[in-house]
A = this chain, B = another copy of it.
Amino acid sequence: MKNLVIAQSGGPTAAINASLAGIVERAMTCAEIGTIYGARYGIKGVLKDDLVDIGARLSSPGALTRLIHTPSSALGSCRVKLRPPEENESDYEKIFGYLASRGAGRFLYIGGNDSMDTVAKLSAYGKAKGIDISIMGVPKTIDNDLCGMDHSPGFGSAAKYIATTFSELWCDCRVYDIPAVTIVEVMGRHVGWLTAASALARGRDCPAPQLIYLPEVPFDNAQFIGDIKKELEKSPAVLIAVSEGLRRADGSFVGEDSQSGIADVFGHAYLSGAGRVLEGLVRREIGCKVRSVELNLMQRCAGHLASQSDLTEARLLGAAALDRALKGVSGEVSVLNRLPGEEYRVAYGSICAKEVANKEKYVPNDWISESGNDVTDEMIRYLTPLAQYEQLYSDCFQLSR
């Protein structure tokens, strides 16, 4: 009977604790596992043997339920990337030394593509040294940029928050009969999945967002202004989704536009975010009422709007990774893939961590409209079951049209 160590890494999501709960649940009923440890603040906790007996802390069903409904990482997180053993072997010696001293037979790491790099490196090092500790990864990120799986756990909940919020912002934006442009900045430094999820807001009485700009499409000021002018002819209220990661054809970020001319007292360029820069552009070029809104941290920690599909999948991905570890597998990441057919169903499996580490999955070109300012129906079909978006609470009923 060997012990288990689990850690969480990277940025918050609404589902990362569900993965932790999934591992713990599976471990609790498993005779081959002794103590269940959590490392505090990711791999940093393993590096200094800073562990908590979470099996004891989570031994009541009420505690597990609370954990699942707590957004962000209950164990704390870090943004540390291990250097290769050739450069810094002492970190590897510390990690495996502490794991061995704790009687650990398995180490599970929940995180994004950087964390899967840690899984790949640790597993390769352990195998090379003949150390009998399974290292497995459990995927998570709101960005949906992980390769080798249909989608990333954490994404569906963020997508549901974004869709719900856009439908509510539409009700807010359309309230006056004067032309008004509202630009909403969504997270996603390199990939447009989260911004695309704004399209799920559309439905009965909600045509918004009318325009969607992803970082996969080179951004052009003149095209943007032209698109808005066309929409203003159809409706006084125009709601626009823009990715924080928008770039121009020359590769520069829109949100770091020195052309905005905004500088602080020291003359340093003031990084405004894409939404704010574009708000200034619309004010100068069109001159109508214009606002920008950042969904900011709320889109990644809105546990109260977590997608039930997402929480369930995150739990099962945790359990699946432990299952593989119990079979002695190491250096892999649990994944889920969509099965063919009309009904949304998934199958769980695992792939080599190297196939996930340091890679990014972009929105495919043919899921972006030809005009470059919208997504296609195929994208909507892909997104819908993930966000499990129901207009349960808010509606967009309108009497003024």
Contact = CB atoms under 8 A, between A and B. Distances in A.
Interface of A: 12, 17, 38, 40-41, 44, 52, 54, 57-58, 63, 66-67, 69-79, 164-165, 168-169, 171-177, 182, 260-265, 270, 280, 291, 293-294, 296-298, 300-306, 392-400
Contacts of A263: 262-263
Closest 3 CB pairs of A and B: A261-B265, A304-B393, A303-B394
A394 B168 contact: no
B293 A297 contact: yes
B261 A261 contact: no
Contact of A41 (B173, B176, B396): B176
Contacts of A182: 297
Given A395-B69, A397-B66, A399-B54, A168 B77 contact: no
Contacts of A265: 260-262
Nearest to A392: B304
Copies of this chain in the oligomer: 2
B75 A41 contact: no
Given A12-B171, A176-B41, A397-B74, A298 B293 contact: yes
Counting chain B CB atoms within 10 Å of each CB, which of A297, A300, A306 scores highest?
A297
Given A63-B397, A397-B17, A303 B168 contact: yes
Given A40-B399, A72-B171, 7 more contacts: A41-B177, A72-B168, A74-B397, A76-B176, A77-B176, A262-B263, A298-B298
26 contacts: A12-B171, A12-B175, A41-B176, A52-B399, A67-B395, A67-B399, A70-B171, A74-B399, A76-B176, A77-B175, A165-B298, A168-B304, A169-B301, A171-B301, A260-B264, A261-B265, A262-B265, A270-B270, A291-B297, A293-B294, A293-B298, A294-B296, A298-B298, A303-B395, A304-B392, A304-B393
Nearest to A164: B304
Contact of A71 (B67, B172, B260): B172
Contacts of A396: 70
A272 to B, nearest CB: 9
A298 B168 contact: yes
A70 B176 contact: no
Contact of A303 (B38, B171, B176, B260): B171
Counting chain B CB atoms within 10 Å of each CB, which of A165, A265, A397 scores highest?
A397
B301 A172 contact: yes
A370 to B, nearest CB: 31
Contacts of A54: 399
Contacts of A260: 264-265
Contacts of A176: 41, 76-79
A169 B78 CA distance: 17
Counting chain B CB atoms within 10 Å of each CB, which of A67, A171, A177, A400 scores highest?
A400
